[in-house]
Amino acid sequence: MHARQEAKPSSERAAQSGLERAAACGFVTAMLALGEWFDSRERGGQHARALFWYLKAAEAGSAEGQVAAGTAYLMGRGVAADTTQAAHWYRQAATAGDVGAQYILASLYERGDGVSQDLRLARYWYEQAARQGDEAAPAKLQALAQQEAGATAPPSPSGGN
């Protein structure tokens, strides 16, 4: 049993080393695996190291890496929270068709969080998410429509004739 316990750290180091070699060769899957590896509780949540690998994957065009980087910036995991950077990475993933990123980007536009508030763009991204089957997006579209209808309705008369 003692030998097994000693072997585990060695095999983990070997696995990490193998992933790092693969990532250095440009394998996005290895970059993402390293990000998840360092993000895990078993590794003590080394979020800055995780973000390093998520950004490598994101810069290589991985929508999954872009979402992970956006989430790190949004939540302040491994970096100071920065909604502008979060919006940047979510926009990249949303444009690539990631439904979760589309919904989150829409909500950022709806609130003006990290981007200028723009209900037209919020509607656009909620529509994209809804088309891909996001279950919450139709309700957000309905709420936006009601909000816009209330904003454009003429004022009600305050008195009689």
Q: Are 23 and 30 in contact (CB under 8 A)?
A: yes
69-81, pLDDT tens digit by residue? 999 999 999 999 9
Q: How far apart are the first and last CA of the chain?
A: 92
pLDDT band at residue 57 under the 50/70/90 scheme: very high
pLDDT band at residue 82 under the 50/70/90 scheme: very high
pLDDT at 44: 78
The SS3 assignment for 63 reads helix
d(CA 103, CA 110) in angstroms, rounded, equals: 10
126-144, pLDDT tens digit by residue? 999 999 999 999 999 999 9
Task: Over range 72-101, report the average pLDDT.
Answer: 98
pLDDT at 6: 45
For the domain made up of 15-96, the CATH class stated in words is: mainly alpha
d(CA 112, CA 114) in angstroms, rounded, equals: 6
d(CA 32, CA 50) in angstroms, rounded, equals: 9
The structural domains of the chain, with segments of one domain joined by +, span 15-96, 98-151
What DSSP state is assigned to residue 46? -
